[in-house]
Amino acid sequence: MSGETERRLAELGVTLPTPTAPAANYVPVVKSGNQLFVSGQLPMGADGLTCKGKVGADVSIEDAREAAKLCAINILAQAKAALGGDLGKLVRIVKLTGFVNSVPDFGDQPKIINGASDFLVDVLGDRGRHARSAVSAGALPFNAAVEVEAIIEVAG
């Protein structure tokens, strides 16, 4: 399945980046049994944080949705690194938790986190379907608009 996943990423024009190092005292991924717990990923691109500010004031739904997709790309990059480069060991995305840095009366968090969910299903098919929470946050690290973490089932 690694080849299948890599082919699909290539078809979508996505190259997984080299994962970024943690910004504090934590590890980016913990493997426990047959699960990977991927720490919250920010929308970090080649030039750093791509989407800053509050959704509903500074950031549009469309831009935040793209930021959530970038978080999902970074989740896959972290998973690939944790799996020794073999995305074929990824059995399925079990759960995503998405945080949206939004104004108090903003209620469209699911629309934002759909950027991550839709991307993972597009790349992984049924292996990308997952349980999910999409919640508002009063603030996120570095004033990021979005942060997404994941639980992933892996083979042996």
Domains of the chain by start residue, with CATH:
2-154 (3.30.1330.40)
Which tens digits make up the pLDDT trace of 26-71?
Answer: 999 999 999 999 999 999 999 999 999 999 999 999 999 999 999 9
Confidence of residue 1 (pLDDT cuts 50, 70, 90): low
Report d(CA 66, CA 152) in Å as an integer. Answer: 22
- Which phi and psi (to 5°) does residue 150 adopt? -145, 150
Inter-axis angle of helices 61-82 and 109-124, to 10 degrees? 40
Res 156: pLDDT: 78
Please compute, for residue 29, the number of CA atoms within 13 A of its CA located in the half-sphere on the CB side. 23
Q: Where are the beta strands (DSSP E) in 26-145?
A: 29-32, 35-41, 44-45, 48-49, 90-101, 131-137
Which tens digits make up the pLDDT trace of 108-148?
Answer: 999 999 999 999 999 999 999 999 999 999 999 999 999 99
Confidence of residue 93 (pLDDT cuts 50, 70, 90): very high
Burial class (CB in 10 A: 0-12, 13-18, 19+), 58: middle
pTM of the entire predicted model = 0.96
